[in-house]
Amino acid sequence: MAVLNQLTARESQVAAMVSTGMTNSQIAADLGLSVRTVDSHLWRVYHKLGVANRASLTRLLTHRA
């Protein structure tokens, strides 16, 4: 998926987890990160992919899959 080439490995991982419906708290717990770190990764994902929210991110990822 070419759009994901813009993302770091961790950003791709967080984006994929968001697209499955996981909350930031769940993602943080699974990855051993703080919620704030997940927030930061997600903000960078939104910025790089030009989306504004979780729904738009999920739509983009499922459309490209």
pLDDT tens-place string over residues 13-45: 999 999 999 999 999 999 999 999 999 999 999
Q: What is the model's pLDDT at position 22?
A: 98
Structural contact between residues 18 and 55, judged by C-beta atoms closer than 8 angstroms: no
Ordered domains of the chain (ranges, CATH): 2-64 (1.10.10.10)
Q: What would the DSSP string read from start to end of the chain?
A: -GGGGGS-HHHHHHHHHHHTT--HHHHHHHHT--HHHHHHHHHHHHHHHT--SHHHHHHHHHHH-
Q: What is the model's pLDDT at position 16?
A: 95
Backbone φ/ψ region at 34: left (φ over 0), alpha (ψ -120 to 50), beta: beta
Q: What is the model's pLDDT at position 5?
A: 87
Q: What is the model's pLDDT at position 65?
A: 59
